[in-house]
Amino acid sequence: MSRYDLIRIPLLKRALVSRWPQFLAQAAALGGFVVAILAGLWGTPVGSHNFGIVFVWIAWWALLMLAAVPLFGRGWCSVCPIPLTGEWLQRGAILRPRGRGLGLGKKWPTRFRNIWIQNGSFALVALFSAVVLTQPNVTALVLAAFFLAAVATGLLFERRAFCRYLCPVGGFIGLYSQLAPIEVRVKDRAVCAAHSQKTCYTGDAEGYGCPWQVFPGGLTKNTYCGACLECLRTCPENNVAINLRLPGGDLWQPAGRRMDEAFKAFIMLGSAVVYSAVMLGPWGALKSAAYAVGTWAWLGYAAAFIAFVFGVLPGAFALATLATLSVQPRAMQSWRKRFIIFAYALVPLGLAAWVAFSLSFVFANASYLWPALSDPLGRGWNLFGTAGLGWTPYLSSLVPALQVAVVAGGVGWASLTARRLAREAGGGRRQALPVVAFCVAVAGGLLWLLVG
């Protein structure tokens, strides 16, 4: 497949190898993060006027789901403020390597070297989402908890253990980064094989060994590459490329398929459906139940959520992958293996579901940004003269059509992927049919929730 290495552009290469542009972006993000926490704790309790809520759940979320993830994959991770402080302390440096850091550098326990904890942490936050999304102080506490957990993990364990194994956001960004039209890869694997020091993994005077515990020479998919660009800095052979590529090929890579990643796909697809029902639907009782944390109604909602995401959806999918339409059933992978393989077809559908959900949520509420910018704490300030701007939804007649286009596109992409995966499942292309039917059914339900 054709690729274009952006590092061939001299100016871009200099900008990326230099630590400054990245550092400035990180510093800006860290500033926004700190202000969001402070505003959440001491600003107005009215969510739609609080900088913390508005900037995190409208501005950041829009940037992340509508731009950063689809276009740059883990691009957000390369500027994310959450792990910075922990990383600086761990390294004892902010920019280039120097001296010794404070970290204990323990190895992350082997049995947790997967994304099950991230699956759980995302589901946990999702259960409380109606509160987290609307209560400034809860958003602030959640962000602060992420921050403290990242500092603690950075000091205790080596490299970016928080990002790889704990962060609920990092889990789904990684899943969807497989679809991005951009990738960090080595130019020539033979060069890596011959390079005995592997400075990209161990680090050298120019940069740190891969914080994401990935060996760039072995990368076949974006999932765990944080696009931090350290390997670009450490590789003495100039063997690291940042390629523009046709999106989606990562899903076809048979290496590293796992049940935890498969479940990530279900959790994300399922929560997009649930969120669309709870937040965009006309059912007041459902909204109140999701909000009333601790009550029986909420317990019922939480149980239904968990059952849908971890039971109903994967269960129906398991049935779809059980169907044996193969000409030679013996040549097929086991049922469990087929379940895992085909789950990767849900990745494009899941991203489409999130984009479609976010389109409605973001455009309806984006006009809250301008007053919150001028009056971040809700104290009657007017920093930029926009405090008085009223609320009005943007593009309210266009959004439903966009959502339809996005969901249909997601189904097409999922089918294309399923067809390709059927080969790996050993069942012939016909084997993709039940999976595609599953995708069409989920998309139909989602469309009904979004534009029905």
**Residues of the shown chain interacting with ligand SF4 in the complex, contacts defined by CB under 6 A:** 184, 210, 212, 214, 216, 225-231
How many residues form the binding site for another protein (CB under 8 A)?
A: 58
Q: Which does 391 bind (CB under 5 to 8 A by kind): ligand SF4, another protein, none?
A: another protein
Which three-class secondary structure state does DSSP give residue 229? Answer: coil
By the rule CB under 8 A, 401 interacts with another protein: yes
Q: Select the binding partner of residue 432 from another protein, ligand SF4, none (C-beta < 5 to 8 A, by kind).
A: another protein
Report the alpha-carbon distance of residue 381 to residue 373 in Å, rounded: 10
- C-alpha 166/C-alpha 452 separation (Å) is 36
Burial 281-300 (b: 16+ CB within 10 A, else e): eeeeebbebbbebeeebbee
Give dist(CA 279, CA 428) in Å, integer.
40
The residue among 215 and 252 lying less far from another protein, judged by its C-beta, is 252
Under 8 Å between Cβ of 329 and 426: no
The SS3 of residue 109 is coil
Q: Cβ of residue 203: shortest distance to ligand SF4, in angstroms?
A: 9
Q: Which does 13 bind (CB under 5 to 8 A by kind): another protein, ligand SF4, none?
A: none
Q: Confirm or reject binding of residue 13 to another protein (CB under 8 A).
A: no
Write the Ramachandran bin of 214: left for phi over 0, alpha for psi from -120 to 50, otherwise beta. Answer: beta
Binder of residue 268, out of another protein, ligand SF4, none (CB less than 5 to 8 A by kind): none
Taking the complex as a whole, how short is the minimal distance between the CB of residue 68 and ligand SF4, in angstroms? 16
Pick what 417 binds: another protein, ligand SF4, none; C-beta below 5 to 8 Å, kind-dependent. Answer: another protein
**Residue 254 sits in the site that holds another protein (CB under 8 A):** no
The conformation of residue 384, written as its DSSP 8-state character, comes to S
Contact 235, 201 (CB under 8 A): no
Q: What residue has token string 């403290």?
A: 148
Q: How far is CA 419 from CA 327, 342, 351, in A?
A: 15, 9, 18
Q: Is 448 in the site for another protein (CB under 8 A)?
A: yes
Instruction: Pick one of 48, 78, 118, 137: the residue that binds another protein (CB under 8 A).
Output: 48
- Of 314, 309, 318, nearest in space to 268 by CA: 309
Contacts of 148 (CB under 8 A, 6+ apart): none
> Binding of another protein at residue 358 (CB under 8 A)?
no
CB of 100 to another protein, least distance (A): 47
Min dist CB 192 to another protein, Å, is 28
| 222 versus 358: smaller Cβ distance to ligand SF4 | 222
Q: What is the spatial distance between Cα 87 and Cα 155, in angstroms, rounded to a whole number?
A: 8
Q: Which is nearer to another protein, 115 or 278 (CB)?
A: 278
Gap between the Cα atoms of 173 and 122, Å rounded: 12
Q: How far is the CB of 17 from another protein (least distance, A)?
A: 35
Q: Which does 225 bind (CB under 5 to 8 A by kind): ligand SF4, another protein, none?
A: ligand SF4
Identify whether the C-beta of residue 184 lies closer than 8 Å to the C-beta of residue 219.
yes
Site map for another protein, 260-299, x if CB under 8 A? Answer: ------------------xxxxxxxx-xx--x--------
Beta strands in 174-303 (DSSP E): 182-186, 203-204, 207-208, 240-245
Minimal distance, residue 49 CB to another protein, in Å: 7
How does DSSP classify residue 21?
Answer: H
407 contacts another protein (rule: CB under 8 A): yes
Binding residues for another protein, rule: CB under 8 A, are 46-49, 130-131, 134-135, 278-285, 287-288, 291, 361, 364-365, 391-393, 396-397, 399-401, 404-405, 407-409, 411-420, 429-430, 432-433, 436, 439-440, 443-444, 447-448, 451-452
